[in-house]
Amino acid sequence: MHLRIAAVQTTAVVGQVKSNMANISKLVASSIARTPVDILLLPELALTGYNFKSPGAIEPFLEPTAAGTSTEFARSLSKKYNCFTLIGYPEKEKSITYNAAVFTSPAGDVLHHYRKCHLYETDEVWGCSENPGPKFESFKFVADKEYYHGQKDPHEKLPTITASTGICMDLNPYKFEAPFTAFEMARSCLANGVSLILCPMAWLSITAVGGTNRHPNQPETDTVGYWIQRFSPLVESEHPVAVVTCNRVGQEDNLLFAGSSAAFTFEGKRNPTNPVKIAGALPCDQPAVRVFEMEVAETYETQEK
């Protein structure tokens, strides 16, 4: 089925939650107010910033599981624009901190909650813990938005999408110690029959590690190419798999973010001669919103309990 997925590529100032929220709201309003979308995808730790220096520094910004400022913001965006929203946020459950994401329905309900599995060194600096549960779990949601407003019979077979989410480092080999070809996230998605993958990110620029190919107002093509490579096992899928990454831009101290939010589809076994279709990518160096037109494989299922 056809979905319009908006990658909301933003910058954020560490700890400036209200101003970061206002900037995202303004960016979204100016970009999609007259253009209906199905899914809003925001970056990793979109409201708080990412480069915290210690557990104490991030402590005032930790949010209860699917119940804090970021979740409420996602719920409000979903209801305002009648869409699904995925946002990354710093979670605290009891005494444990996670790098998490929450997915909300057009009615503002929480449909899925996810915790980052593969941690980057910055996550560990501010005391983040790995997802303790099953890794890279898939989830299902009804693609017909009327269902969430009580306008569909749950006994009726409705278009249902099997999806997965991963946060930034999740695309990489575990701790950079696992073999490059382990492809943990991609292989999990393949095994679970996923047809849509949504990735909030705070991915660093290749320039920060001596790379080239970074030009104003253009995506980092090496970065986009690397993301595609990390999902390459999906060429074995029996159906197309759509992937959308939403990164952030700007700089926090010594961390330069890559932007370049992108969308691409693995055509799977139906098109082995041309396995990847790239829908496009955003610039590496500025906030922006792009609505990607994506074809996503669905099944038809009843929703009765």
* From 44, 63, 91, 298, the catalytic residue: 44
In the set 83, 92, 116, 284, the catalytic residue is 116
Active-site residue flag, 284: no
Q: Which of 128, 168, 246, 284 is catalytic?
A: 168
Known catalytic membership, residue 121? no
For 216, other C-beta atoms within 10 Å of its C-beta total 8
What is the rounded distance in angstroms from the CA atom of residue 41 to the CA atom of residue 86? 5
> Does the active-site annotation cover 44?
yes
DSSP the chain: -EEEEEEEE----TT-HHHHHHHHHHHHHHHHTTS--SEEE--TTTTT-S--SSHHHHGGG-B-TTTSHHHHHHHHHHHHHTSEEEEEEEEEETTEEEEEEEEE-TTS-EEEEEE-SS--HHHHHTTB----SSTT-EEEEES-GGGGGT-S-TTS-EEEEEEEE--GGGGSPGGGTS-GGG-HHHHHHHHTT--EEEEE--PBPGGGGT-----TTS--HHHHHHHHHHTGGGGG-SS-EEEEEE---SEETTEEB----EEEEE-GGG-TTS-EEEEEE--SSS-EEEEEEEE---EEE----
Active centre residues (catalytic): 44, 116, 168
